[in-house]
Structure 1
Amino acid sequence: MEWLIGPFEVTFVQRALVAGLLVSAATALAGTWVVLRGMAFLGDAMSHGLLPGVAVAALLGGSPLVGAAASAAVMVSGVTLIGRTPRLSQDTSIGLLYVGMLSLGVIIVSRSQSFAVDLTGFLFGDVLAVGQDDLLVLAVALGATVAVTALGHRAFLALAFDQRKAHTLGLRPRWAHAVLLGLLTLAIVASFHIVGTLLVLGLLIAPPASVLPWARSVPAVMVGAALLGASATFFGLLLSWHLDTAAGATIAALAVAQFFLSRTAAALRSRRAHRPVGTAAVPRAAGQEYPAVPDPRPAADMGAHAS
């Protein structure tokens, strides 16, 4: 039991665990909509697009969170404006902004000879260096994430499953999409200094994607993703302590490992469920996915009844 409990008797590991649990909950709420809407590339671009603001803030001695928020606002505004250009797909606008913001960040970093260590922290995070102020920021961010998710649940649900139906019901899909981008931004900005921009996607995408084949409602995906993220945080900190590995990277690696284990188990379950008794199994077509939430009701009805 000492091997299991011993590391968490240390104060900074305790703070790291609390921070990881808060991040896991916030990213589970935002990440569920990211996975359902297929916005993983946007999440990746958003996380890397924070670099210019963080670099400028570090060079000027300001708050990295403020710099990250400014860069995120530029990214969201750019994606929204360029995405409305005729005959230009949203992926194209996201890709252009991704490269542009990342290049600008590298240029700013290259002007400083002493920013290498800070850049490493930006990319990979330092969950073991979390302070009380960081925990307060994460708690506030989680509270805001819960509020936005609860208030916008019906609109987000309709937007994720049937955007035309959302427009018909007067749910203003463009506004819902903008608020959803804000929710994603909040989760990333609040979490990047804990797990780093290269690793925040691990907790943002892997837990919801792991739960999706097993859940029957969106709230169930969120709860399951939060629990998986919490378990990845606990065991990631435990393994990093005993194996002397990077804590943030170990947490993210476990989250990704959970995804592959979940998908493998789901594939085996589906194969057994769809195999007729006494006959050979029929292989699935390449890329075919079985629906995660087999509900015959329209998306609007799901939004009305989901809790």
Structure 2
Amino acid sequence: MSWWSALWDPFRFGFFVNGLLVATFAGALCGLTGVYITLRGMSYLGHGLSHSVFGGFAAASLIGVDYYLGAGLWGVASALMINRVARSRGIGSDAAIGVVTTASFALGVALLTLFGSRGPSFDAALFGSIVGVRPVDVVIVAAVLGCTLVVVCARYRALLFTTFDPEVARASGVAVGRVDVLLMCVLSLAVLATLTVIGVTLVAAALVVPAVIARMVARTFAFLLVVAALVGAGTGFVGMNLSYHVDVPSGTTIVLVGAAVFAVVYAATTGAKRWQ
């Protein structure tokens, strides 16, 4: 078999095509959402929410509810709880994230250990897998990406102001609290949509790496969003193909491809600055 035939061989399988579409859409979604998270210095939030969603995944699996519904409601509730606790009691956001999300993750592990899973496997939820990706997963991830694009476009200025200077935004009449809640909900849905392909343990990297790469090359905020989304989609596409050929979990290969792109861009931009 020639290398060209080997390259196109996985496209014969429906599960691979579904996984490839989900990985590409999920990469763009994580890249777009991750810009706001990294600029706010809240990269830990993506890591925390991914672990929190795992608790909903376990609970939904136990009672026989579709895990998108159960984990989605659980993730949004966790995000709102983190925001509430951090604001109302003067507790730092990092402390609130640590308490809520680690407790949720521990509960998920306990439930799956005691009662088992009736849905996607434990390993697939942790590290991602292309085998269990269904056509409905493609539709759901595409819908979440579309909704996120609508939110970003409709609330562009409010999100921009609250990201860089929330105090000025509040003085200008922007409802900072509502914008924060909206961003939390979008982030929760993004984490949930990427669970099947990237996995709980690696979602944070998928959120942060494309945004960091984009920050090294973009000079305007709008261009930063575009570059982050494209980098995320590209790493998802390449990582999913690589996952099939090397037989490594999809989340692992997607993150490694992103890390390799980061290393190349970092070296190129650092060399360009030294030359100048």
Report the equivalent of 1:191: 194
1:219 paired residue among 217, 222, 227: 222
- Distance between the aligned counterparts of 2:225 and 2:242, measured in 1? 25
Report the equivalent of 1:285: none
Q: Which amino acid aligns with 1:142?
A: L
Residue 109 of structure 1 contacts residue 115 of structure 1 at CA under 8 Å; is this kept in 2?
Answer: no
Q: Quote the sequence identity (%).
A: 29
User: 1:94-127: CA deviations, max 9, x gaps?
Assistant: 1111222122222222222567972211111212
Residue 217 of structure 2 aligns to a residue in which SS? coil
Q: Which amino acid aligns with 1:19?
A: V
Q: Which amino acid aligns with 1:23?
A: A
RCO greater where, 1 or 2, for CA within 8 Å and sep 6 or more? 2
The alpha carbon displacement at 1:87 in A equals: 4.5
1:154 paired residue among 149, 154, 157: 157
- Distance between the aligned counterparts of 2:246 and 2:186, measured in 1? 35
1:20 aligns with 2:33: no
Unmatched tracts of structure 2, length 5 or more? none
Q: How many residues align?
A: 273
Normalised TM-score (structure 2)? 0.91
1:206 paired residue among 191, 209, 212: 209
- Distance between the aligned counterparts of 2:38 and 2:271, measured in 1? 22
Report the equivalent of 1:83: 86
Task: Give the ranges of 4+ consecutive aligned residues of structure 1 lying more than 4 Å apart after TM superposition.
Answer: 113-117
Residue 216 of structure 1 aligns to a residue in which SS? coil
Residue 273 of structure 2 aligns to a residue in which SS? helix
Residue 76 of structure 2 contacts residue 189 of structure 2 at CA under 8 Å; is this kept in 1?
Answer: no
User: 1:236-256: CA deviations, max 9, x gaps?
Assistant: 233223222222311121112
Q: Which amino acid aligns with 1:154?
A: R
1:101 paired residue among 100, 104, 107: 104
User: 1:36-90: CA deviations, max 9, x gaps?
Assistant: 1112101110000112211111111111111111221231122122102444211
1:250 aligns with 2:253: yes
Report the equivalent of 1:141: 144
Residue 50 of structure 1 aligns to a residue in which SS? helix
1:126 aligns with 2:129: yes
Residue 127 of structure 2 contacts residue 250 of structure 2 at CA under 8 Å; is this kept in 1?
Answer: no
1:260 paired residue among 252, 263, 266: 263
- Distance between the aligned counterparts of 2:250 and 2:142, measured in 1? 21
Q: Which amino acid aligns with 1:184?
A: L
Unmatched tracts of structure 1, length 5 or more? 274-307
1:10 aligns with 2:9: no
Residue 207 of structure 1 contacts residue 255 of structure 1 at CA under 8 Å; is this kept in 2?
Answer: yes
Residue 127 of structure 1 contacts residue 195 of structure 1 at CA under 8 Å; is this kept in 2?
Answer: no
Q: Which amino acid aligns with 1:229?
A: G
- Distance between the aligned counterparts of 2:29 and 2:116, measured in 1? 35
Report the equivalent of 2:74: 71
The alpha carbon displacement at 1:161 in A equals: 1.2
Normalised TM-score (structure 1)? 0.82
